């Protein structure tokens, strides 16, 4: 079974993002992955530029306060996820025009495009459920975020 929790480490969860702009939030999430050792500085900068270009074409803000920026990254060893939350919301050019409070950044390894899309789809389906989003917003620790994800993945 495909599990989101296999790709999200507690060290890559930020309960209150500091940034207030889309471009800065993306960099903040990438910095979590760099500190965790999943990407290096050069990869971080390259991925950030690519994500910004992608956002210019079409926002990854899918509505209901959710954004799922994602990218296939050459040279990446494994699929990795970072999660960030901003309770007051961030302008993100979302499909519904609402600010984003929950962000999941997914980076997939080259050659795993089908897997990457399945992971993205599973996460998007979970995030369509208001009760799931509310639990993520109310959570108080990275471990609680992981527990919520694990429980909802089981249902």
Distant-in-sequence, close-in-space partners of 2: CB < 8 Å, separation ≥ 6 = 115, 118, 119, 122
**Among 46, 70, 116, 150, which one carries the catalytic annotation?**
70
Active site residue 70: yes
In angstroms, the CA 148 to CA 155 distance is 11
Q: How many CB atoms lie within 10 A of CB 42?
A: 9
Characterize the bridge pairing of strands 66-67 and 80-90: unpaired
Q: Which residues are known to be catalytic?
A: 70
């Amino acid at each position: 079974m495909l599990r989101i929790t296999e790709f999200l480490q507690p060290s890559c969860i930020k309960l209150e993002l500091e940034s207030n702009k889309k471009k800065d939030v993306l960099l903040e999430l990438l910095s979590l992955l760099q500190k965790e050792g999943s990407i290096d500085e050069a990869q971080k900068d390259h991925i950030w530029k690519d994500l910004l270009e992608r956002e210019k074409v079409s926002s990854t803000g899918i509505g209901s306060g959710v954004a799922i920026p994602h990218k296939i990254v050459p040279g990446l060893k494994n699929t990795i996820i970072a999660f960030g939350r901003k309770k007051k919301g961030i302008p993100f050019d979302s499909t519904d025009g609402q600010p984003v409070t929950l962000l999941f950044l997914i980076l997939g390894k080259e050659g795993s495009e089908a897997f990457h899309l399945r992971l993205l789809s599973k996460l998007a389906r979970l995030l369509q459920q208001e009760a799931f989003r509310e639990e993520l917003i109310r959570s108080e620790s990275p471990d609680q975020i992981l527990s919520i994800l694990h429980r909802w993945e089981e249902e």
